[in-house]
């Protein structure tokens, strides 16, 4: 089962990552000004991760692949790591879809 981990950055912003059952980070958020907004972001990931149209499959300038998960309003709520191949990126998307809905939330503040 996946886990959302909420942490606080050095600049006092809150951030979450979604980790797969094996501990690998599969999605990282932007910074949030409050913990409440960060927790709302997690709920948005849980909802939007089940809609294929919310995933943008992208390629970096260096040829590596990644994806962004967008909310209903089009705002990016999470970004993946970089992958060497499109199949790796697609597997990452499937992992988010599988892990996000039932993931527990933990805090390391």
pLDDT in tens, 8-59: 999 999 999 999 999 999 999 999 999 999 999 999 999 999 999 999 999 9
Q: Which residue's entry shows tokens 């950055």?
A: 9
Query: What tokens appear for 81 in the block?
Result: 């790591």
pTM: 0.95
pLDDT, tens digit, 9 for 90 and up, residues 52-86? 999 999 999 999 999 999 999 999 999 999 999 99
Contact 69, 52 (CB under 8 A): no
Q: Which CATH class is domain 3-108?
A: mainly beta
Contact 69, 96 (CB under 8 A): yes
Q: What does DSSP say about strands 104-108 and 76-79: parallel, antiparallel, or unpaired?
A: unpaired
């Amino acid at each position: 089962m996946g886990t959302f981990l909420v942490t606080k950055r050095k600049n006092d912003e809150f951030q979450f990552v979604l980790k797969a059952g094996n501990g690998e980070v599969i999605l990282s958020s932007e910074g949030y000004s409050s913990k409440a907004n960060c927790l709302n972001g997690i709920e948005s990931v849980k909802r939007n991760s089940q809609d294929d149209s919310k995933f943008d499959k992208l390629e970096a300038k260096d040829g590596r692949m990644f994806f962004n998960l967008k909310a209903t309003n089009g705002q990016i709520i999470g970004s993946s790591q970089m992958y060497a191949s499109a199949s790796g990126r697609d597997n990452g998307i499937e992992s988010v879809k599988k892990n996000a809905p039932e993931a527990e939330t933990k805090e390391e503040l």
